Amino acid sequence: MKVIDFFLISLSKFLAFTIHLFHLGSGETWPGHFASEISPGLLSRLESQLPRGSILITGTNGKTTTALVLRSILTAAGFSVSSNHSGANLLNGITSRLILDTDLPGRLKTQIGVFEVDEANLPLALKSYRPEIVVLLNLSRDQLDRYGEVDLTLFRWQTAFLDRNPPTILIYNEDDSTLSAWLENIRHRLSAFGVKIIPFGCSLPTDYGAPSLIGDFNSLNVHAAVTAALALPVTPETIRQALIGIKPAFGRGEILSFNGHPVQIFLAKNPASFNGNLALIKSLETLGNKRTLLMALNDNIPDGRDISWIYDILFEQHLDWLSEARLIVSGRRANDLALRLKYVGVLSANLMIVPEIKAALNLSIKELRPKETLFVLPTYSAMLAVREVTTGQAIGD
């Protein structure tokens, strides 16, 4: 560590405290951004203080949940963990978290890092430091206006893995055809670097399950986290114990209460996550099998400005139960979503368009029968808005 780092760490903590105090945000991105600008390499110097190193989790969908599961397992195993759990998954989020986890003299208090990292930022992360383990969950089309094509992401990953700091262990989902085909090409070169490659996937047997994390995509997330924990190693018994108590991450199947009704939020930010969540909601028992669904589509920067992808959601496969359901569409692009549903075959009489999210929530709640759950499918910024209305608090408050 450089002398300036200790000074910067104190200043950044003060910055985070101020941001938090005045409700200017969660304080989990700007301090890290500020400190890294002034002292490049700070992230690497902080990370190298972790005695057990760090684990990076990336992929299009499931990062937050996988990080949550792994963090819970490691905490149960007695580790003190640094983790960017508010979903601030760019490098400034990781740096901020490490800064906040230092003691007064500026030394790191934690032993191990569990960080989710945006798939476009993985190369930058690997350039900054060498993680012990990298977990690759999946890769599918998401926000092309921000990330570009999947092939481009794979190309950048390849360069990063082969030229920079490959992890000691690489854990990947062998059921994701995009990932496994890509890895097949560079496997021998990675092995030559001494990288240990461990597959996971639904086709591999597992007897680990987290009861509160429902849905097929979540069993994959759990499987990924368990694979990483076993590699550390954490004992199977500890892992099983930890999994029992895990609750969903914010906005990822999380159940909140609003005006006496359960509100279950399923972040639906691209075709893959939307399809997974529709299949999951269909499988859930409901009163009289008539569901109430609020779908909220925003096109802010964190959601991606282009909403063309809603035409790749497999709504047509769900027309039977969607036709029976009460549907409310909301968000900045509510009209587009309504139009999409019209071309699926949903009758406009079964569809309410309420662009403003708070008004849409209030109206949806009125539609519910006693004890009925409201299912919400929001894009990222819409999810934050829904949570803010239902909890009265912004993320990180």
Sites of contact with another protein (CB under 8 A)? 141, 144-145, 149-151, 299, 305-312, 333, 335-336, 338-340, 342-343, 348, 353
Phi, psi of 326 (to 5 degrees): -85, 120
Q: Decide whether 306 or 324 has the Cβ nearer to another protein.
A: 306
DSSP E strands in the chain: the ranges are 54-58, 81-83, 112-116, 133-136, 169-173, 196-200, 252-258, 261-266, 292-296, 326-330, 351-353, 374-378
Q: Which two tokens stand for residue 127?
A: 């350039």
CB of 343 to another protein, least distance (A): 5
Q: Decide whether 312 or 324 has the Cβ nearer to another protein.
A: 312
Q: Decide whether 235 or 335 has the Cβ nearer to another protein.
A: 335
Q: Decide whether 307 or 389 has the Cβ nearer to another protein.
A: 307
Whether the Cβ atoms of residue 264 and residue 250 lie closer than 8 Å to each other: no
CB of 274 to another protein, least distance (A): 12
Q: Decide whether 356 or 388 has the Cβ nearer to another protein.
A: 356
CB of 356 to another protein, least distance (A): 13
CB of 216 to another protein, least distance (A): 24
Whether the Cβ atoms of residue 87 and residue 64 lie closer than 8 Å to each other: yes
With helix as H, strand as E and coil as C, how does 258-318 read? Answer: ECCEEEEEECCCCHHHHHHHHHHHHHCCCHHHCCEEEEECCCCHHHCCCCHHHHHCCHHHH
Distant-in-sequence, close-in-space partners of 278: CB < 8 Å, separation ≥ 6: 313, 314, 315, 318, 377
CB of 186 to another protein, least distance (A): 17
CB of 388 to another protein, least distance (A): 23
CB of 125 to another protein, least distance (A): 21
Distant-in-sequence, close-in-space partners of 233: CB < 8 Å, separation ≥ 6: none
CB of 323 to another protein, least distance (A): 15
Q: Which two tokens stand for residue 133?
A: 């383990």
CB of 300 to another protein, least distance (A): 12
**Cα 376 from Cα 363, distance rounded (Å):** 13
Q: Decide whether 17 or 343 has the Cβ nearer to another protein.
A: 343
**Cα 78 from Cα 67, distance rounded (Å):** 17
Q: Decide whether 141 or 240 has the Cβ nearer to another protein.
A: 141
Q: Decide whether 238 or 300 has the Cβ nearer to another protein.
A: 300
Q: Decide whether 31 or 276 has the Cβ nearer to another protein.
A: 276
Continuous segment of H or E residues that includes residue 346: none
DSSP code per residue over 212-270:
T--SHHHHHHHHHHHHHHHHTT--HHHHHHHHHT--PPTTEEEEEEETTEEEEEE---S
